[in-house]
Amino acid sequence: MEVIDSLCCQAVQNGASDLFLHSDQPPQFRIDGDLVPIDQPPITPEELEAFWTHCGADASTTDHDGSYVATDGTRFRVNLFRALFQRGAVLRPIKTQIPALDTLGLPVELLTAWVAKTSGLVLVTGPTGGGKSTTLAACLDWLNRTYHRHVVTIEDPIEYLFAPDRCLFTQREVGPDTPTFAEGLRRSLRQSPNVILLGEIRDAASAITALQAAETGHLVLATLHSSSVLDALERLTHLFDAGQREGVLQLLSQQLIGVLCQKLVPALPEGRILAVEHFENQAVTRKWILEGKFRDLADFVAKGDNPANVTFLQSLVALVKTKRITEATGIEAAANPHELLRQLRGITAISIKH
């Protein structure tokens, strides 16, 4: 345990977002998105076996999600797994200091308007490690300093711990406190919440309960893995069988407040910065959601004539123009690199037509 604990402390000191442990292989960090080998001996099977036991995993377990607290006090989210009959683990340090909302490169005015609402569904989406949990924690921290609310969180594991200011917090962890996200969400409705944070929408049960909670007068904040606003809506809808989708789309069109999709890209001169895509559900978009016409909605967002609606492309162009990322980074991150280059050169679709 001493070796792995020391690596955990080194990970924090070096600003690593992940620590990778594979049996009989040297450990590695992920720093600013890149894998960094560590000049240390390979992790032994015995060291990993002791770590599994400490995390509460049975010897025959093939996959296990848990947590670990290092001797420096840092909490880690832990995934234990087997690969080719060997043990492995990935540990992610959980940051305890909640950053201010206006330091993250987010649309602050838009997000605070969403979080101030008394009911509805807000989705924060993006890839794993894209900062979704930090964004939601910053939103709740702002809410904690601004409004009197009862906030129930259902997480796996709990990442940020909130000290009550104006809000009362009930934080529940999947496993120790509640068996599943869906069950924790369903039970939370009996706890008189104003705001419910759902760590992740993983299945149809949690998705429909989140929509129903929004419908019955609660503000629900939830995360979803997706690459864009369009992808988020399609993924959420396809959690359900075809026969259920009409009812789900009706609920979604009425209860969805907005979607924020984010990803971290290499910044200048170092570190990483958020690129964002977001849209706010308005009168015209409700009809498209109801009819499942998500492509029409994506085209509407791409018009760029409403500050509540921004595409990743527009966000990347702005970051390049303000020299916060390189043009090469923008090209690599863009779904359509040629369109990014055209916009950087001042060539728009309208000017091409004329």
Q: What is the pLDDT of residue 300?
A: 93
CA 8 to chain centre: 23
One domain for residues 227 and 129: yes
What average pLDDT does range 148-169 have in this prediction? 93
Q: Is 327 part of a structural domain of the chain?
A: no
For the chain, the average pLDDT equals 93
What average pLDDT does range 212-225 have in this prediction? 96
> Which of 67-71, 105-109, 115-119, 314-318 shows the lowest mean pLDDT across its residues?
67-71
Q: Is 347 part of a structural domain of the chain?
A: no
Q: Is 317 part of a structural domain of the chain?
A: no
One domain for residues 188 and 263: yes
Q: What is the pLDDT of residue 33?
A: 86
Show which of 94, 123, 149 is a domain's final residue: 94
Per-residue pLDDT at 350 exceeds 80 = no
For 28-76, write each residue's pLDDT tens digit: 999 988 999 999 999 999 999 999 999 989 888 899 988 899 999 898 9
Q: Which of 309, 313, 303, 311 is nearest to 333 (CA)?
A: 313
Domain count, the chain: 2
Q: Is 140 part of a structural domain of the chain?
A: yes
One domain for residues 163 and 275: yes
Q: What is the pLDDT of residue 354?
A: 33
Q: Is 192 part of a structural domain of the chain?
A: yes
One domain for residues 85 and 108: no
Q: What is the pLDDT of residue 157?
A: 80
Show which of 75, 94, 113 is a domain's final residue: 94
Domain that holds residue 21: 2-94
Q: What is the pLDDT of residue 58?
A: 87
One domain for residues 206 and 285: yes
One domain for residues 159 and 10: no
Question: In the Cβ-directed half-sphere of 326, how many Cα atoms lie within 13 Å?
Answer: 8
One domain for residues 125 and 82: no
One domain for residues 82 and 112: no
Per-residue pLDDT at 351 exceeds 60 = no
> Which of 104-118, 173-187, 224-238, 257-271 shows the lowest mean pLDDT across its residues?
173-187
d(CA 129, CA 182): 23
CATH classification of the domain holding 115:
3.40.50.300
One domain for residues 179 and 280: yes
What average pLDDT does range 222-250 have in this prediction? 95
Residues in the chain: 354
CATH classification of the domain holding 71:
3.30.450.90
Show which of 94, 112, 127 is a domain's final residue: 94
| β 219-225/120-126 pair status | parallel
Burial of 37 (0-12, 13-18, 19+ CB in 10 A): exposed
Kindly calculate the radius of gyration of the chain based on its CA atoms and give it in whole angstroms: 21
For 249-294, write each residue's pLDDT tens digit: 999 999 999 999 999 999 999 889 999 999 999 989 999 999 999 9
Q: Is 190 part of a structural domain of the chain?
A: yes
One domain for residues 205 and 270: yes
Per-residue pLDDT at 352 exceeds 50 = no
Q: What is the pLDDT of residue 349?
A: 47
One domain for residues 62 and 151: no
Name the band, by pLDDT with cuts 50, 70 and 90, for residue 230. very high
Contact between residue 229 and residue 278 where contact means Cβ atoms under 8 Å apart: yes
Distances from the Cα of 57 to the Cα of 82, 85, 206, 277, angstroms:
12, 16, 26, 39
